[in-house]
Amino acid sequence: MALKKYYLKNCVEAGTDEAGRGCLAGPVVAAAVILPPNFKHPLLNDSKQLTEKKRLELRPFIEENALAYSVSFVFENKIDEINILQASILAMHQSIDKLSVAPKHIIVDGNKFNPYKNIAFTTIVKGDAKYMSIAAASVLAKTYRDDFMCKIHKEFPEYQWDKNKGYPTKKHRSVIAELGATKYHRKTFKLLPDQLKLAL
């Protein structure tokens, strides 16, 4: 299915999405993107449908051709303080804050969002597979987060964040069980299944 260019016609519209919500470690990262009306790229799709190679190919194209874009990180201590849903929304708000062009309307991937200033918004379930600007935001959020996880992987290579990016894989959980949690782990998350107890 072809992605739609906009939700509201003739309107400066920002799409926003986040990456890393379901991870056990690392930040949640959001991006906001405003695309020009003539934007198109044959690869653009929900970042989850793309290979890493395709996402990395798309990123510079999006950044060079967007009217405005920005990326924002909310780290694990803040996630533990305000919960992952609120941290995801905070990251989206922060990325909209940093846009060099103020949007008149915001389209959000998912079904939860908090009002941002006085700007109208629309939440769209699976929006990253329906609208170009949300898909573009999903690509930026995912690639910037993956880069960060590969960077901190060098600090804690045993956890294999270069591969699992902080998601709860079997291997990731077995290393947590063996070595415990790092400073990058989200302490309010269920890091291990019930049968395995963790000393924090």
Phi, psi of 105 (to 5 degrees): -150, 145
pLDDT tier at 46 (50, 70, 90 boundaries)? confident
Q: What is the pLDDT of residue 45?
A: 80
Q: Where are the domains of the chain?
A: 13-153
Least confident of 43-52, 58-67, 105-114, 155-164: 43-52
Q: Give pLDDT tens digits for 77-135.
A: 999 999 999 999 999 999 999 999 999 999 999 999 999 999 999 999 999 999 999 99
19: enclosing H helix or E strand: strand 13-19
Reported as a single tens digit per residue, the pLDDT across 133-143 is 999 999 999 99
Question: Which of the pair, 195 or 56, is modelled with greater confidence?
Answer: 56
pLDDT score for 178: 95
Angle at 140 between CA 132 and CA 13, to 5 degrees: 40
Sign of CA dihedral 10, 105, 107, 40: positive
Which residues fall within 8 angstroms of residue 80, CB to CB, at 6 or more apart? 186, 187, 188
pLDDT of residue 123: 98
Q: Are 71 and 30 in contact (CB under 8 A)?
A: yes
In this structure, of 9-23, 46-60, 154-168, the range with the lowest mean pLDDT score is 46-60
pTM of the model: 0.95
Does residue 112 contact residue 89 with C-beta atoms inside 8 Å?
Answer: yes
Using one digit for the tens of pLDDT, what is the confidence trace for 5-18? Answer: 999 999 999 999 99
Task: Provide the CATH topology of domain 13-153.
Answer: Nucleotidyltransferase; domain 5 (3.30.420)
